Amino acid sequence: MTPPAPAARRPSAALLWVLLAAMGAGPLFNYGVSASATAVMERLDVTSGQLGTVMTVVYAAAAVTGDYRAGFAVVAGGYLLALGVVLLRRHVGRRGAA
């Protein structure tokens, strides 16, 4: 005869509040991006299409990085890409100034 299963524990109220706060973070981020879009576009001198492309890449990267290895690969790849852009810009900037 098998022993009876232990009684299921009920989630605490603290867990409910943590999950509620986590669910609210997504819409809050969208609101923050929308509210600050004009200032960001003026300060960085980008168009709304370019800002939309950046946000699409950010959301796609967030979707891909659900896995630890994929997240590490995206972060490392982004770092290497940014480093390459900076080095290329410095090299082209020096050549254009000479």
Predicted TM-score (pTM) of the model is 0.47
Asked whether residue 96 carries a pLDDT value surpassing 60, the answer given is no
pLDDT band at 97 (very low <50, low <70, confident <90, very high): low
Say how far apart CA 88 and CA 57 lie, in whole Å: 22
Segment 69-82 shows an average pLDDT of 88
**89 pLDDT exceeds 60?**
yes
Kindly tell me the sign of the dihedral angle through the C-alpha atoms of 85, 87, 90, 95: negative
